[in-house]
Structure 1
Amino acid sequence: MTVSRTSATEARRLRFGVHGSYQLATNLLAAVRHDPEQVTFVPYDVREPFAGLRAGDIDVMIVKYALQEPDVAFSATVAFDGRAVIVAEDHPLAAREAVSVEEVADYDAFDRPGTFPPYVWDQVVPPTTPLGRPIRRVPRMTTMEETAAILRRTRAVHLSFRSLAAAALPGITVVPVHDLPPAPVSLAWLRNRKLPAFVREFITEAERSAQR
């Protein structure tokens, strides 16, 4: 039986789960010299972040912070993503080069979306600042488009990550937060699924690259 070159390529195509910006994923692919022609980016919905993984539509996905999902395994840290606050371009914080999270606490922030793990959201949008000020998590986050719409029509803010600057929607500004630690970035996959050898190799190379 003859297998076509196209079929062989598709069989080795990495289905890479991403949310928001592709920057972290593309940087990682470049670091391990993985052929981008053999990658399919699969956007995942932050309201159900592991749905694609559990459905078998994603081989490996970008995640931040340590996971406690019993069916999801994750790698060692492969990168870091600096913290930022996302605001409307006419927001009082928008023109700043960087801000403190203590200033961010003056405004309503977003509550966790859908089934997003609460223990991870507490690190994305902590309940309090380092000095103990409460962060009001009021509007429920949904899609990036709806989040941006809320930001444009209110003074709400979204505590997030600097990588999203590469995917900022019109009318939205990403401002670095200088006093929160960067988020550790890992790769996650379904624990009980046997990964193809090329996927395992990609994970291993990503971990090695981070140690160089």
Structure 2
Amino acid sequence: MKKLERQVGAPLFERTSRHVILTAIGRQLHEDLRQAHRQVEAGLAPAVNTASGIHGTLRVGYSAPWNGNLMIKTADAFHLRHPDCEVPIQEVQLHDLLGPLRAGALDLQLTELPIGEPDITTGPVIAREPRALIVPADHPLAQRETVSLEDFARIPLVTIAGTIPQYWLDQHYPHRTPAGEPIARGPVATYWQEVLSPVAAGKGASPTYARAAHYYSRPDLVFIPFSDAPPVVYGLLWPSDGENARVRAFVQTLSEIAGTRPGLPSPQPALSAGDLDL
């Protein structure tokens, strides 16, 4: 500082035993240099992003509609940090849960666990959502404030078909209750939204997350929370051979916004029903 003051030819700070403050000339120099510093940072940012690999396009997806809001918020924050990287976002359909990742159409997605595939890395858990059961409005269960996992035995399940790991289906659409009672099967849908009509028509029930009531509320459907079911767990997934600086940076940003701890674990084996306590 003394050297800079000699170069300027005037004091930049007023110094006492109690404090150090800028002089008028010091304040002016600080303001002038701050504007120049911002220009330098702006000029360096593209080069830094290019050197770190955070440029180009990062394609992200989500499987639950409420996660779309989180992904958009994260993409906006990510783009502010890395303006040379575009982040298109799309919804992933459950009937082809891992297809877009494996086809190279997505680089990263947020979806319901468990996923345990040798070519897919399971990243940090981002959220946990309470479960609910969708039943016809005229079904006896519709009068209840909560349902139990044992109530699965009282009504067939409308399920999803497609290219979905069997362990994932067994986790979310079990064949037996915790007490061992068989759970009947109702109609099979391709898209999750298609389960709503057969449920409303009295053909069965469908498990979901409690927040779904805000997105799919209908007068002929009732969403009842479970009293004893574990939450739906949402985690990040990406191709194991596709991890790069863009993916790591987005995972970091999303973890910060969601209030979770970021991490980049190795591929993991499939989780069992016991792992998620269902």
Q: Which residue of 2 aligns with 1:173?
A: 222
TM-score under structure 1 length normalisation: 0.79
Q: Which residue of 1 aligns with 2:237?
A: 188
> Are 1:18 and 2:62 counterparts?
yes
Structure having greater relative contact order (Cα 8 Å, sep ≥ 6): 1
> Are 1:210 and 2:256 counterparts?
no
User: Which residue identity lines up with residue 17 of structure 1 in the other structure?
Assistant: G
Quote the offset at 1:45 in angstroms: 2.1
Quote the offset at 1:17 in angstroms: 1.4
> Are 1:34 and 2:77 counterparts?
yes
> Are 1:141 and 2:185 counterparts?
no
Superposition map of 1:1-212 within 5 A = 14-21=58-65, 23-27=66-70, 34=77, 39-168=87-216, 170=218, 171-195=220-244, 197-207=245-255, 209-211=259-261
User: Which residue identity lines up with residue 19 of structure 1 in the other structure?
Assistant: S
Misfit runs of 4+, over 6 Å? none
The SS at the match of 1:204 is helix
TM-score under structure 2 length normalisation: 0.62
Q: Aligned partners of 1:181 and 1:202: how far apart in 2?
A: 28
The SS at the match of 2:247 is helix
- Between Structure 1 and Structure 2, the one with more helix by share is 2
Quote the offset at 1:107 in angstroms: 0.2
Q: Aligned partners of 1:125 and 1:52: how far apart in 2?
A: 23
Pair 1:98–1:128, CA change in 2 (3 A): same
Q: Aligned partners of 1:146 and 1:112: how far apart in 2?
A: 9
In percent, how many aligned pairs have the same letter?
27
Q: Which residue of 2 aligns with 1:4?
A: none
The SS at the match of 1:85 is strand
Runs of 5+ consecutive residues of structure 2 not aligned to the other structure: 1-49, 81-85, 263-278
Q: Aligned partners of 1:40 and 1:176: how far apart in 2?
A: 34
User: Which residue identity lines up with residue 260 of structure 2 in the other structure?
Assistant: A
Q: Which moved more, 1:167-176 or 1:77-86?
A: 167-176
User: Which residue identity lines up with residue 75 of structure 1 in the other structure?
Assistant: G
CA contact (8 A) 1:105 1:136 kept: yes
The SS at the match of 1:78 is strand
CA contact (8 A) 1:85 1:160 kept: yes
Runs of 5+ consecutive residues of structure 1 not aligned to the other structure: 1-7
Q: Which residue of 2 aligns with 1:3?
A: none
Q: Aligned partners of 2:210 and 2:59: how far apart in 1?
A: 24
